[in-house]
Amino acid sequence: MQPSLDGVLVADFSRVLAGPLCTMVLADLGAEVVKVERPDGGDDTRHWGPPYVEEGSTYYLGLNRGKRSLALDLGDPADVALARELARRADVVVESFRPGLMARWGLDHETVARDNPGVVTCSISAFGSGEAAARLPGYDLLLQAMSGLMSVTGEPDGRPLKVGAALIDMVCGLHAAIGVLAALRARDRDGAGQRIEVNLMDSALAGLLNQGSAHVLAGVVPGRLGNRHPSITPYETFRAADGELAVACGNDAIFARLCAAIERPALATDERFATNSARLEHRDALGAELEARFATLPAAEWVTRLTDAGVPAGPIHDVAQAFAFAEELGLEPVVEVDGVRTVRSPLRLSGTPVEVRRRPPRLGEHSAALREWLSSPAPPGPPPAG
């Protein structure tokens, strides 16, 4: 079937994570993505390892499938001219340079749009395009620290912790992809392109979700609760006889089923625990009651009992166990293209299925063909297949 973004050409000047994730999503949806990289090393993530496999850094490989690589030296006027021609032919231009650099090369939205009025440009930055923001470096760790996310992650009496994956870069990259899709839809309707700006700080604050709205609406400054939830309980992890399990009770009815499943039905009618508000007020006492009971049996047995009783519960998997579990569910979480294994896109479209068409490219792998294409008159649309 024809992919959703078939015929859409994306000029990808981004690097590291947020931008490459955005353009990989677009590639998964059928766009033709040309990844522009500096000749002396390319995207930084090509060198972020270990782990490495034969094809390169697993970090880079996980973010760049479905693309072609064009090595350009943007300090060379001839290569800048090719970059401008690529932008002139593109439907979408994505970049994550420091504010002002794209304008220096004549690749900013206003300049590109003079010859390509339908172009959609997406600028990804750390803290926005303001003068003060432009001086601040943007790495996910710093954003987790500066956005407040680390302040609510970790044990109450422990150090602030970062999330174990680059969460803010991911949220930003997905917001960028959403913005591109919205702008393309508007262009289909109105015929005009537009500029999109996305930054890590805005994405981080939006990603705080209920923690952010608690502050904005009620003035709350939340702190660290370990694996506990600020507004629901029990919604946390508990130690069983041989490990830990996660239990999520989102309402009073589920809590009552939990009490019956652990053979402590009286807890559900105890005035300290009968409602969520009461449970939050007495959460330490409730936690002690539940932990004492969970300590009597292995985690797997509790997960089975609770699941059978309609109580959301699960084991704490490591990454290998998580992929194996997804396989057991029939999700087929890994796909292989040209010998490179990659994590399957979570998007499942019935009419225009996601397809990984290319393995991640080697640095400059497609430079010769793309340079020839950009140097020659060409009809509208993506470069020839290859």
Q: How many domains does the chain have?
A: 2
Do 194 and 159 share a domain, yes or no? yes
Do 303 and 352 share a domain, yes or no? no
Do 300 and 262 share a domain, yes or no? yes
Q: Given this model, what pLDDT does residue 294 score?
A: 98
Average pLDDT over every residue of 351-373: 95
Residue 72 has pLDDT above 70, yes or no: yes
Instruction: Note the pLDDT tens digit of each residue in 323-341.
Output: 999 999 999 999 999 999 9
CATH of the domain at 305: 3.30.1540.10
Do 276 and 134 share a domain, yes or no? no
Query: Looking at the domain assignment, is residue 222 inside a domain?
Result: no
Do 264 and 172 share a domain, yes or no? no
Two structure tokens written together for 329: 């569910």
Do 178 and 243 share a domain, yes or no? no
Do 184 and 48 share a domain, yes or no? yes
This prediction has a pTM of: 0.94
CB 17 within 8 A of CB 45: yes
Q: Which of 358, 342, 362, 340 is nearest to 42 (CA)?
A: 362
More confident residue, 380 or 82: 82
Q: Given this model, what pLDDT does residue 380 score?
A: 64
Gap between the Cα atoms of 308 and 132, Å rounded: 55
Q: pLDDT band at residue 134, thresholds of 50, 70 and 90?
A: confident
Do 285 and 354 share a domain, yes or no? no
CATH of the domain at 121: 3.40.50.10540
**Catalytically active residues, by annotation:** 169
295 alpha carbon, distance to own chain's centre: 36
Query: Looking at the domain assignment, is residue 386 inside a domain?
Result: no
Query: Looking at the domain assignment, is residue 144 inside a domain?
Result: yes
Q: Given this model, what pLDDT does residue 386 score?
A: 65
Average pLDDT over every residue of 286-310: 98
Query: Looking at the domain assignment, is residue 194 inside a domain?
Result: yes
Query: Looking at the domain assignment, is residue 122 inside a domain?
Result: yes
Residue 381 has pLDDT above 90, yes or no: no
Two structure tokens written together for 127: 């803290």
3-class secondary-structure state, position 69: strand
Query: Looking at the domain assignment, is residue 329 inside a domain?
Result: no
Gap between the Cα atoms of 40 and 310, Å rounded: 56
Residue 382 has pLDDT above 80, yes or no: no
Q: Could you tell me the CA-to-CA distances from 378 to 89, 182, 227, 250, 385 in Å, in that order?
A: 9, 28, 57, 58, 14
Do 95 and 138 share a domain, yes or no? yes
Q: Given this model, what pLDDT does residue 385 score?
A: 72
More confident residue, 384 or 201: 201
Containing structural domain, residue 272: 235-324
Query: Looking at the domain assignment, is residue 224 inside a domain?
Result: no
Do 357 and 263 share a domain, yes or no? no
Average pLDDT over every residue of 245-274: 97
Ordered DSSP codes for 199-213: EHHHHHHHHTTHHHH
Residue 275 has pLDDT above 70, yes or no: yes
Using CB atoms within 10 Å of the CB of residue 55, give its burial: 0 to 12 exposed, 13 to 18 middle, 19+ buried: middle
Establish whether the linkage from the previous residue to 50 is cis, with ω within 30° of 0. yes
Q: Given this model, what pLDDT does residue 221 score?
A: 97
Do 146 and 173 share a domain, yes or no? yes
Element at 247 (helix H, strand E): strand 244-248
Instruction: Note the pLDDT tens digit of each residue in 165-209.
Output: 999 999 999 999 999 999 999 999 999 999 999 999 999 999 999
Q: Which residue has the tokens 């959301």?
A: 312
